[in-house]
Amino acid sequence: MRTGEQYRKGLAKLKDNVYMNGKLVSRDDPVQEGAVNVMAATFDYALDPEFKGIGTAKSHLTGETVNRFTHIHHSMEDLLNKQKMTRLFSQELGGCVARCMGIDATNALSVVTYEADQKYGTEYNKRFLNWLKRVQKEDVACVCGQTDVKGNRPWRPHQQKDPSLYVRVIEKTKDGIIVEGAKAHNSFSSCVDEDIIIPTRHLTDEDKDWAVAFSVPADAEGMTLINAAFSPPKRKKLQAPYSKMGATHSITVFDKCFVPWERVFMCGEPEFAGKLALLFALFHRHSYTGCKAALSEIMLGATALAADYNGIANAQHVRHKLADMISVVELIYAAGIAAGVNHTVAPSGTYVPDTNYCNVGRMLAGESIYEEYMDLAAIAGGLSATLPPEADFENPKTKDMLNRYIMRNPDVSTEDTHRAFRLFQDIMASHWGGHKLIDALHGGGSPVIEKVGIYRDFNLDHSKNIAKRLAGIKTDANDPKGELNRLTHAFI
Amino acid sequence: MRTGEQYRKGLAKLKDNVYMNGKLVSRDDPVQEGAVNVMAATFDYALDPEFKGIGTAKSHLTGETVNRFTHIHHSMEDLLNKQKMTRLFSQELGGCVARCMGIDATNALSVVTYEADQKYGTEYNKRFLNWLKRVQKEDVACVCGQTDVKGNRPWRPHQQKDPSLYVRVIEKTKDGIIVEGAKAHNSFSSCVDEDIIIPTRHLTDEDKDWAVAFSVPADAEGMTLINAAFSPPKRKKLQAPYSKMGATHSITVFDKCFVPWERVFMCGEPEFAGKLALLFALFHRHSYTGCKAALSEIMLGATALAADYNGIANAQHVRHKLADMISVVELIYAAGIAAGVNHTVAPSGTYVPDTNYCNVGRMLAGESIYEEYMDLAAIAGGLSATLPPEADFENPKTKDMLNRYIMRNPDVSTEDTHRAFRLFQDIMASHWGGHKLIDALHGGGSPVIEKVGIYRDFNLDHSKNIAKRLAGIKTDANDPKGELNRLTHAFI
Amino acid sequence: MRTGEQYRKGLAKLKDNVYMNGKLVSRDDPVQEGAVNVMAATFDYALDPEFKGIGTAKSHLTGETVNRFTHIHHSMEDLLNKQKMTRLFSQELGGCVARCMGIDATNALSVVTYEADQKYGTEYNKRFLNWLKRVQKEDVACVCGQTDVKGNRPWRPHQQKDPSLYVRVIEKTKDGIIVEGAKAHNSFSSCVDEDIIIPTRHLTDEDKDWAVAFSVPADAEGMTLINAAFSPPKRKKLQAPYSKMGATHSITVFDKCFVPWERVFMCGEPEFAGKLALLFALFHRHSYTGCKAALSEIMLGATALAADYNGIANAQHVRHKLADMISVVELIYAAGIAAGVNHTVAPSGTYVPDTNYCNVGRMLAGESIYEEYMDLAAIAGGLSATLPPEADFENPKTKDMLNRYIMRNPDVSTEDTHRAFRLFQDIMASHWGGHKLIDALHGGGSPVIEKVGIYRDFNLDHSKNIAKRLAGIKTDANDPKGELNRLTHAFI
Amino acid sequence: MRTGEQYRKGLAKLKDNVYMNGKLVSRDDPVQEGAVNVMAATFDYALDPEFKGIGTAKSHLTGETVNRFTHIHHSMEDLLNKQKMTRLFSQELGGCVARCMGIDATNALSVVTYEADQKYGTEYNKRFLNWLKRVQKEDVACVCGQTDVKGNRPWRPHQQKDPSLYVRVIEKTKDGIIVEGAKAHNSFSSCVDEDIIIPTRHLTDEDKDWAVAFSVPADAEGMTLINAAFSPPKRKKLQAPYSKMGATHSITVFDKCFVPWERVFMCGEPEFAGKLALLFALFHRHSYTGCKAALSEIMLGATALAADYNGIANAQHVRHKLADMISVVELIYAAGIAAGVNHTVAPSGTYVPDTNYCNVGRMLAGESIYEEYMDLAAIAGGLSATLPPEADFENPKTKDMLNRYIMRNPDVSTEDTHRAFRLFQDIMASHWGGHKLIDALHGGGSPVIEKVGIYRDFNLDHSKNIAKRLAGIKTDANDPKGELNRLTHAFI
């Protein structure tokens, strides 16, 4: 396992292919320092004694201790611990832990490469496991590029006027494949060693050229990252952990990009494209039952702090509101636990969390986040928006006035009051905070997408049979009464 | 274990102390036939091969197989299986399973009698275990009377003008105690062998006489049940399982009622009264994560059926609505699973589910039920309300007209259409259905009570510390970062 | 103008064509006494000095004072007064005022018959005005049958296997037309002198035979009412105004029913069918901004009373909840005021309220009613469901017990407590109450239908132009900035 | 009336007393250019023929045409036109119109100064009218500083450790008063000629020194504005009207600031302090029924545009969502209309809108805004957050890639797509947008404050009497049945 520092050094060596704000920049450009800090933390936390047993796991390939972000789940405990890790690291960081995309894509590939090989006698799984061994050994940081730019939404890949609006294979050679197209919202792609590319949707036989999955070094020839970097507003004196983090999202463009065969994990099997897309989404939504529980708890903690500092913590409506916020935290996390408990085991041996529990947890998180922002704003009050800039707290002409008039709860120092409201402003009223709010809605799949999955994966006929039987209407004889709706309750 | 038939015969032998609709009636009065059917099912299901392993457990006292409703949880599997049993039986019955009150009160007593004995050298636990042995052996049906009539809500028991507005001990004798007062909403008390009486709230030293718990035969001398019996509207020809069930709720009045010492499980220990009250509520809310998931699934199944029959199952807004309803089912049940997984083990050896997960699951159920009724009404349409009585479907003058004009989806027979809308009407627009809707809100504790519990039991300081740390404000050093908010994650 | 008593006498003379609960019954059958009481009140209130100026208007045809329910709106004050009348009478009655269907259908016909005549040179308007003169003079009670039974929902009238699943003309003669089919949910049809029949939807040229509107005496030859009658549970001693009312809804079957030409107001003009359907719905939704405001205020008053009687009126969460309920009352009513203020004047001279304001008011009412029921249930508590029957309060064996233990707020008598909770039970947990809840959702059009209307009638292009202009995107030059979105702001 | 240009010139002449971002700046500092643009527009719009009759009114003092923002309402039309003006100007500007604070404070003072004089024989009204004549003649731009910094929330002004945590009179002289303290959230104070200062809450006799109202030039001696300036992100090439606006909010500090008597409108009459505070809030909430309707329509238009550009405008869930958003626009505006229609006339002759209708409209706006942001984010998608900076669309290395891959709806140009998503990003994911979201919740009073007002101002006894009467419980004889709940229905 590497340290955060080793990771940073490795990153700095990558070739420059990242454009930000109109310029070609190196990976250690200060503008993405916050995002790099987040990724580095996933290395340091694995080694941190306070997180003992959380950030590491025992490789099923080598038996060695590896960073959990490179691990394939091989037990229910693995699933539960990954959820727990995601929550703990996220609350420590103040938000997104970034590297979950790597573990989630890797786990999905472990299942689908195996099944494709079973059907077609290909050797995707072998290639994948070789690749994985190196990833575990060298503690490689990966993310996943899934969402294509998609052009006109109602059209399938092969129907688009420009066929590269979905990433596709334009040529196969003896040594590998040549790909073209672009992935959108490729989060933290500018902060990793490798970018795992997978399909974004169900494909038909006519979309064969678009059924492609592979991993490339993030500075591969023919790959350009047009990057948007975000971080909380910089502080001058009032340093705080929250201000240290950040995120990047790129439109990652592949222009005749070559990928050698040993890095190709799917190529021309459209019936597995949708499966891979869904499976990554599934693992990723399970991650969200961890990180979004953390995010909701951060919003909860901030709101409770605001109530204390404003001296209104005992108002009944405030306590009720906090109870509602707690409830969201608990239900999101409970959904992830239930998903882990009700896992299935894939033919590859990978443990897979339950679909519906993941979807309902993620959907609740997505649907609640705007209300959580409203709760914090409501209880913190307008000062979250109108707080004068930090510099006015330093200017000798205005400093004393501000310190005098910002005072509220007499048990709280002016500096702590300032710190708290500065945090609230960064969360709610900054470029960073606004982008995070949208991210919390859409990242890992929007609520409307989860609705589709929930409707699809639930055995609605079973529910209808319950109603029919109670009504005295003939039911399906194959639907026994001693069963729950869901068929995957492996554990109980 | 007894059969339902044996239970019915036993019940019929009880002395008459039940008043219904102005008259003294026997237990086999047809007006409460539906409620008795429900209780009888808890016996038959335990013996039903289709529910094998669900309705029975191995007694920790005797090692014998007993009805699970008389069992004390001694493993995580016990907790998960009890939740599962509650859901399966409830969806089979069409609603409330009734006997959960017995198992929940019994489990709570197993913990609190032990702890009281540890502190005071009393022998409540010994008495309780003796009593329990008989209950398990004879497969006794019990419910629990908890809610006092409470008089003026802001006043404590000892402050009431009439001290018997909370059940209290008015005399102690060599042989036992004499009690007076009344319990409200004593559900199914007219359908059981024994009624377990426990306190309803936290008590102070001044409320010593009200700190009392015991079990009495349901026809004990000095005990009167003023009973309200409910059941779906009677059918003439269109028989259906839904119509077979029912419920009763009594105001149970104790007028100088004698209870022998061997049935007294608390008497004068106010500091354990609140604990017992909360613990019963906790076990009971865990039950609700099973039965309310079933109830929500029944509403879901009925709504999906209505969509099919109305020919609108493919409308996007219908599918989205069904997905939302599924989400409620899954989140309620997930909360119960998480509560079972994150159990604690009491000194008595009893397994206790996690408080907050139970509360958030129950609260979600309570807060969702009105919307579920609205969803069914919205998708089924007005015919659920205006459907002419069954007799008009039999009258030769109107029968053919109704059969002609009630036709909608051509793939569904007139009779099935009639059956479905009759079910919807029974659920939504009957004396029974209206009372069940209120029951679903309040039974086991209203959402506002759960909010109090959720706020109380969550470690909000931990959440505030997360926010403080991110803001750069000094935090409590004893709050380590490698911990989740909740302290009870025994399993992971 | 007639008195309620005169109306009752007239009603009793109608020929028997009403089937209820399997039997042919006369109009004065006790089972529909409550519904008849409601209709009778619309006569008595018009003469009641306490409602002076509310229930009457000056006929634009004769200049004479008529019952407002027979009046055609000819000023903004008429629109505002009709809304006010509807609210005041509804809160006096405890709910639906029933006769609004007559005034709303009449006003819609006044517009559409005029426009059809303009286009086709027909004489529908002349016939209609002749008919109206008599209605005003004789103070005729009318309702409107609009909703066809509709068979398979996705099919148009002419596509149904049975063409009579929508009411249609099967023959035209020299003297009139012969119609066949059935109307569902024909509310209060068994309590009126005449039933106005109009189309339920937009029709195409292929649906010509279904484009028919007329008024028939409620006991016309060939007309059968299969009736469902509802009323609050009967009281024995505890009489209360709430218990006096009721409602009926029939499936009204036309079997070769003859209608003379002077009663035919549309016959074969499909392009006016949809217009008539929408216009009736519009006037009717304007009515709902009155009656649903009343209904919401009744729920509010009941909830506030429950809070008082339970001694929790000062709890902050109760006050906040009541404020939310007030807000619904006010917004519904405000929408109706805005609709009246922003009226248009039809070529016939009829004043027409604004569509969108009516729709948003009605939609809010429909979407709020389940929450209002939940609020009352939450604050009243479980006794609303489990209250023993009235007879137990009379039985000397149980009476004193109940009177002792039902006591709560010491300032409120046992009888008043009993009365209040009996009302809550009747509202929420009775056959009547359940049917009213569905009625409140669907009556006058369900929220989902209002969504369709709101989306259709709003000038969304104007809103998009606002956004485009702010974005610097070229906008439609014909959309001036000095205009509000809505084009109908006649008043301001 | 002045032009915007004349206003700008006047502003530039004010003495420097504004601190921003650590520096003393002049009023024409570019950082507040956006805010000044907004204020300037209120002058130009009044002269704009496209807004003819909207932005001007006839002075009741001089009979001359004045800018409506300086006018005292003297008819129902004035109230309705002010609401309409506020909506039209706000949708033209893209948000807050700023100068409403001036008109609202002025109208409130017109009422309260008159009433104080009636009671005490003071001459506040005379002074006020003199001041107003000049304001109208010179077309003075005013805002209002109301919210004190308030220190420890549960303490009254006189209980605070530092008595200046509420603005107070520290000395009275022959020529005037000397004041000390600070106002928070003093919006646009750095962009106006005068700042009207009024109390923020109900005061008791012990708070006499805090009962003070006056108007000062914005650069008065002893007055310091610590200012936070906001504006949408600056564009380089992609100029758009949305980017031109801005806002400022200051903590306005009074340090021994002298105010001559002719500018003092209250001084030592605590019983009028609460009245003035409430009345300003009332007029201001009426303004919000205009500007928030505009804001909601901007969100609606943006969301509809996003649906078009993403090619999903026909999806049923999108149309339903847009209908819900329309409904909010319409209900907010309807509440304002109803408030204008149901006005009262104060003894001073000022027309005052209805309290409750204003409160429910403002509350709905505040409670809906987060959901509106969620709707736009949901339908626009993640690109709103991750859109690369404008510079990348100019860089020749990345420009073509972006133009190729940003393409979606083939009927929409790349530039328009870029413009639309840039707007969405500015609205949702910028410092500006985040601060506006909080502003939309709190500005003019938060929903929780409106709840207090709604509960207080509604005649809940009337509602309880309705319920009591229906239950057969004795009611208050003075509550006639022919009345609506609200007493202020002046118009109908």
The CA angle B475-B478-B482, to the nearest 5 degrees, is 90
- What are the angstrom distances between the C-alpha of D435 and each of B96, C293, C345, D186, D294? 50, 36, 44, 14, 18
Neighbours of chain C (3+ CB pairs under 8 A): A, B, D
Can you give the pLDDT at residue C468?
A: 95
Beta-carbon separation of B382 and C227 below 8 A: no
Nearest-angstrom CA–CA distance, A415 and A399 = 12
Give the H or E element holding residue B216: strand B212-217
Nearest CA-CA partner of D293 in D368, D242, D357, D240: D368
Beta-carbon separation of D330 and C241 below 8 A: no
Nearest CA-CA partner of A169 in A105, A251, A258, A106: A258
Q: Quick one: average pLDDT of B209-232? A: 98
Report the b/e string of D285-313 with b at 16+ CB within 10 A. Answer: bbbbbbbbbbbbbbbbbbbbbbbbbbbbb
Q: Quick one: average pLDDT of A101-117? A: 98
Q: Hey, how many other C-beta atoms are within 10 angstroms of the C-beta on C349? A: 13
Can you give the pLDDT at residue A188?
A: 98
CB D331 within 8 A of CB C334: yes
CB B99 within 8 A of CB B42: yes
User: pLDDT tens, A273-330?
Assistant: 999 999 999 999 999 999 999 999 999 999 999 999 999 999 999 999 999 999 999 9
Local structure of D325: helix, strand or coil: helix
For an interface test with B, which of A327, A368, A427 has the most B Cβ atoms less than 10 Å from its Cβ? A327
Can you give the pLDDT at residue D476?
A: 79
User: pLDDT tens, C82-131?
Assistant: 999 999 999 999 999 999 999 999 999 999 999 999 999 999 999 999 99
Proportion of chain B above pLDDT 90, given as a percent: 94
Nearest CA-CA partner of D113 in D350, D404, D351: D350
Average pLDDT, chain A: 95
SS (H, E, C) chain C: CCCHHHHHHHHHCCCCCEEECCEEECCCCHHHHHHHHHHHHHHHHHHCHHHCCCCEEECCCCCCEEEHHHCCCCCHHHHHHHHHHHHHHHHHHCCCCCCHHHHHHHHHHHHHHHHHHHHHCCCHHHHHHHHHHHHHHHCCCEEEECCECCCCCCCCHHHCCCHHHCCEEEEECCCEEEEEEEEEEEECHHHCCEEEECCCCCCCHHHHHHCEEEEEECCCCCEEEEEEEECCCCCCCCCCHHHHCCEEEEEEEEEEEEEEHHHEEEECCHHHHHHHHHHHHHHHHHHHHHHHHHHHHHHHHHHHHHHHHCCCCCCHHHHHHHHHHHHHHHHHHHHHHHHHHCCEECCCCCEECCHHHHHHHHHHHHHHHHHHHHHHHHHHCCHHHHCCCHHHHCCCCCHHHHHHHCCCCCCCCHHHHHHHHHHHHHHHCCHHHHHHHHHHHHCCCCHHHHHHHHHHHCCHHHHHHHHHHHHCCCCCCCCCCCCCCCCCCCCC
User: pLDDT tens, B301-356?
Assistant: 999 999 999 999 999 999 999 999 999 999 999 999 999 999 999 999 999 999 99
DSSP B139: T
Nearest-angstrom CA–CA distance, A393 and C458 = 49
Neighbours of chain D (3+ CB pairs under 8 A): A, B, C
Can you give the pLDDT at residue C64?
A: 97
Nearest-angstrom CA–CA distance, C124 and D482 = 38
**Residues from chain B contacting residue D320 (CB–CB below 8 Å):** 317
Nearest-angstrom CA–CA distance, B276 and B114 = 11
State the nearest Cα–Cα gap between D486 and chain B, in angstroms. 30
Nearest-angstrom CA–CA distance, A461 and C160 = 28
Q: What is the CATH number of domain B277-455?
A: 1.20.140.10
CA C61 centroid distance within chain: 25
Nearest-angstrom CA–CA distance, A63 and D346 = 84
For an interface test with B, which of D316, D318, D322 has the most B Cβ atoms less than 10 Å from its Cβ? D316
Can you give the pLDDT at residue A486?
A: 54
Q: Hey, how many other C-beta atoms are within 10 angstroms of the C-beta on C137? A: 15
Nearest CA-CA partner of D100 in D184, D32, D39, D34: D39
A93's CB contacts (< 8 A; 6+ apart) are A38, A41, A245
**Residues from chain D contacting residue A443 (CB–CB below 8 Å):** 382
DSSP B246-280: -EEEEEEEEEEEEEEGGGEEEES-HHHHHHHHHHH
User: pLDDT tens, B226-272?
Assistant: 999 999 999 999 999 999 999 999 999 999 999 999 999 999 999 99
Beta-carbon separation of D320 and B315 below 8 A: no
Can you give the pLDDT at residue B446?
A: 94
Q: Quick one: average pLDDT of A27-34? A: 97
How many C×D Cβ pairs under 8 Å?
A: 244
Nearest-angstrom CA–CA distance, B332 and A451 = 17
Nearest CA-CA partner of D325 in D373, D291, D359: D373
Whether pLDDT at D380 is above 90: yes
Whether pLDDT at B490 is above 70: no
Whether pLDDT at A356 is above 70: yes
* Candidate from C153, C395, C429 with C-beta closest to B311: C153
A450's CB contacts (< 8 A; 6+ apart) are A285, A359, A360, A362, A363, A366, B323
Residue position matching structure tokens 């592949």: A254
Can you give the pLDDT at residue C470?
A: 95
Whether pLDDT at A40 is above 60: yes
Can you give the pLDDT at residue D488?
A: 43
**Residues from chain B contacting residue A411 (CB–CB below 8 Å):** none
Nearest CA-CA partner of D85 in D52, D37, D110: D52
What ipTM score was computed for the predicted complex, to two decimals?
0.96
Identify the contact set of chain B against chain D, taking CB-CB distances under 8 A.
315-317, 320
Can you give the pLDDT at residue B491?
A: 42
Q: Quick one: average pLDDT of A5-10? A: 98
Whether pLDDT at B470 is above 50: yes
Can you give the pLDDT at residue B488?
A: 43
DSSP B73: P
Q: Which residue of A has its CA nearest to D225?
A: A398
* Candidate from A302, A422, A470 with C-beta closest to B94: A470
DSSP A41: H
pLDDT bracket for residue A231 (50, 70, 90): very high
What's chain A's length in residues?
492
* Candidate from B333, B416, B492 with C-beta closest to A80: B492
pLDDT bracket for residue D134 (50, 70, 90): very high
Nearest-angstrom CA–CA distance, D425 and C138 = 65
User: pLDDT tens, C447-480?
Assistant: 999 999 999 999 999 999 999 999 999 987 777 7
User: pLDDT tens, D302-331?
Assistant: 999 999 999 999 999 999 999 999 999 999
User: pLDDT tens, A441-490?
Assistant: 999 899 999 999 999 999 999 999 999 999 999 997 777 776 776 544 43
* D196: β partners: D144, D215
Can you give the pLDDT at residue D485?
A: 64
pLDDT bracket for residue B476 (50, 70, 90): confident
For an interface test with A, which of D31, D147, D363, D386 has the most A Cβ atoms less than 10 Å from its Cβ? D386
**Residues from chain A contacting residue C320 (CB–CB below 8 Å):** 317
**Residues from chain C contacting residue D423 (CB–CB below 8 Å):** 467, 470-471
Nearest-angstrom CA–CA distance, B119 and C120 = 95
Beta-carbon separation of A320 and C317 below 8 A: yes
Residue A414 or residue C488, greater confidence: A414
Can you give the pLDDT at residue A490?
A: 39
Can you give the pLDDT at residue C326?
A: 97
Can you give the pLDDT at residue C477?
A: 74
- Strands (E) in D222-362, as ranges, are 223-230, 247-260, 264-267, 344-345, 351-352
Longest dimension (CA), chain A: 83
Q: What share of chain B is helix, strand, coil (3-state, %, to 5)?
A: 55, 15, 30
Can you give the pLDDT at residue B492?
A: 41
* D250: β partners: D186, D227
State the nearest Cα–Cα gap between C111 and chain D, in angstroms. 25
Beta-carbon separation of B342 and A341 below 8 A: no
Can you give the pLDDT at residue D255?
A: 98
Per domain, the residue ranges of chain A are 277-455
Proportion of chain C above pLDDT 70, given as a percent: 98
Whether pLDDT at A95 is above 70: yes
Can you give the pLDDT at residue B486?
A: 54
- Strands (E) in D94-175, as ranges, are 142-145, 168-172
Can you give the pLDDT at residue B485?
A: 65
Q: What is the pTM of this model?
A: 0.97
- Strands (E) in A289-414, as ranges, are 344-345, 351-352
Q: Hey, how many other C-beta atoms are within 10 angstroms of the C-beta on A256? A: 11
Beta-carbon separation of B320 and D317 below 8 A: yes
Local structure of D251: helix, strand or coil: strand
Residues in chain C where the model's pLDDT stays below 70: 482, 485-492
Beta-carbon separation of D463 and C319 below 8 A: no
